[in-house]
Amino acid sequence: MDDHGKVTLENQITMCKAKLELHQFKVSVVENKEECIELLEECISPAETVAVGGSMTLFEAGIIDYLEHKTDIHYLDRYHTEDAVEIYHQSLLSDVYITSSNAVTLDGKLYNIDGTGNRVAALTYGPDRVLVVVGWNKLVKDIDSAIERVEQIAAPTNAVRLNRGTPCTTLGYCVHCESEKRICSTQVITTRSHIKERIHVIIVKENLGY
């Protein structure tokens, strides 16, 4: 990325942060994955119950590995269980829920599309605190741009990763299919953190996730 591109992204982050805070989100901006982990260490207290939503961002940022090796918390591990649905249910009562967002708009909104719905359910209601980790590649102009980003990038890429065989896995873009294997079932636009700072958006100045 050239210097002009970096300046543009920095300006977008500044704008996005101000709008998110206006909408009662807590916002932190970190330089890289390592600083993100350091921030999580500050945000999570010993003995707290911590859960996560499905997210390649969390894997790429090293957060899943961090949680799996953090011995002073009760980690609800959705990836090493024979009953993921039970973990999803327990996650709604967690102290801290960590997830990503499919897109964050410059006017301060979160846009997410989900298959099972457990991730957006926890984002909306349940856990005491929600940490939303996003790379700066997920910043978009507005909701229309967010929807386009999901339909052109996130959903097809995730469908390929999950071996769903939906039309988007071959076409590379969403056609609003009726496949039983589609991963797009619920769309949620979060315009405000109803409880002030319950939702903490952490913007990482790196490309993370889809």
- pLDDT at residue 4, rounded to an integer: 56
The CATH number of 3-204, from 3.30.365.10, 3.40.50.10420, 3.40.50.10490, 3.55.40.10, is 3.40.50.10420
- pLDDT at residue 2, rounded to an integer: 60
- The 8-class DSSP code of residue 17 comes to H
Report d(CA 119, CA 90) in Å as an integer. 12
Contacts 24+ apart (CB under 8 A), 80-86: none
pLDDT digits (tens, 9 = 90+) for 16-38: 999 999 999 999 999 999 999 99
> Are the C-beta atoms of residues 16 and 104 closer than 8 Å to each other?
yes
Mean pLDDT of 160-166: 92
* DSSP, residue by residue, 105-164: ETTS-EEEEESSSHHHHHHHSSSSEEEEEEEGGGEESSHHHHHHHIIIIIHHHHHHHTT-
Question: Helices (H), strands (E): how many in the chain?
Answer: 9, 10
- Domain positions in the chain are 3-204
Q: Is the pLDDT of residue 49 over 60?
A: yes
pLDDT digits (tens, 9 = 90+) for 84-110: 999 999 999 999 999 999 999 999 999
- pLDDT at residue 5, rounded to an integer: 67
**Tokens at residue 137, please?**
């590649």
